[in-house]
Amino acid sequence: MAMASTSAVVVQGLSTPFLSGSRARRTLLNAAVGAKSAVAGASRRLLVVAAAAPKKSWIPAVRGGGNLIDPEWLDGSLPGDYGFDPLGLGKDPAFLKWYREAELIHGRWAMAAVVGIFVGQAWSGVPWFEAGADPSAIAPFSFGSLLGTQLLLMGWVESKRWVDFFNPESQSVEWATPWSRTAENFANATGEQGYPGGKFFDPLCFAGTIKDGVYIPDAEKLERLKVAEIKHARIAMLAMLIFYFEAAQGKTPLGALGLGL
C-alpha cells in the first residue's frame, strides 16, 4: 500500500507543468501512465483468477473437512491428484515421489493383468488362478526353472529401475542395453520420471512425433495421457482386488458376468 501511494505521488509530480513541460508532453505522459496502469490492472486480475482456481477434490460436493478432504501437502500438481490421502502417506515429499512411482508401476502391471485374465480365460476356458496347474497347459519348463528365470530377469529390470529412480537417466548407457547399438532408444525423451517416451517406449507416437528420425515429445498430449493412464491404472488395481476375492470363492471375472466359468 505504501509503495502504491508513493507511486501515485511520483506520477502526480511528473504530471505538473514544471516537470513535464508542454501540454503535448503531459498528454503523452498521461497516456503512458494510463496504459501502464491498465496493464497492471489486467495482470492483477489474471493473478486473482489463477489464485482463485480451486484444487480438484475426491469428494467435490463436500467443502471443508481439513486434511481429510483437502490435504495441505497435496497441491494438485501430480496427474490425477484429487486430494485423496487419508493416511497422510504423502506428507514427506520424498515418500510422495516414491509412492507415485509405485502406484504408476503397479497400475501398469494391473492393466496388463486384467487384459491377460480376460483374454486367457476366453481363449482357453481355464480360470486364471488354475492356468498354471491345468494339465493341458503348455509348460516346457519346470516350475523351478520358470521361477528362477523370472526372478533373474525381473530382478535385473527392477534393479535398473530402482537405480534410475535415484539417479535419473543413469541406466540408458551402452553396457545396460547390450542388444542395442545405441542407448538413445532407451533414454528418457520427455525428461520426466516414469514417462520415458521415445521411439522405443512410444512407438505409436501417442505423446509425441518423430521428425527426421528424432522423437519430439508433445507436452500437452503427455499431460492428458498421464491423467488418463493413472485413472485406468487405479481402476485396474481395484479390479484385480475384486478378482482375488472372486478367486477365493472359486469364481472368475467372466463367470461373474455370466460369460464363462
Residue listed under C-alpha cell 491423467 = 227
Say whether 150 sits in a helix, a strand or coil: helix
Residue 192: what are its φ and ψ, rounded to 5°?
A: -115, 135
Ligand-binding annotation for 106, yes or no, is: yes
CA dist., res. 224 & res. 97, Å (int)? 20
Burial state string for 184-193 with b = 16 or more CB within 10 A and e = fewer than 16: ebbbbbbeee
CB-based contact 198:185 (threshold 8 Å): yes
Angle between helix 143-166 and 93-124 (nearest 10): 150
| Nearest Cα residue to 95 out of 74, 80, 109 | 74
Say whether 195 sits in a helix, a strand or coil: strand
CB-based contact 29:14 (threshold 8 Å): yes
Neighbours of 172 (CB within 10 A): 20
Ligand-binding annotation for 103, yes or no, is: yes
Helix (H) or strand (E) holding 93: helix 93-124
Q: Can you say which residues are annotated as belonging to the binding site?
A: 103, 106, 108, 229, 234
Q: Can you say which residues are annotated as belonging to the binding site for chlorophyll b?
A: 108
Q: Can you say which residues are annotated as belonging to the binding site for chlorophyll a?
A: 103, 106, 229, 234
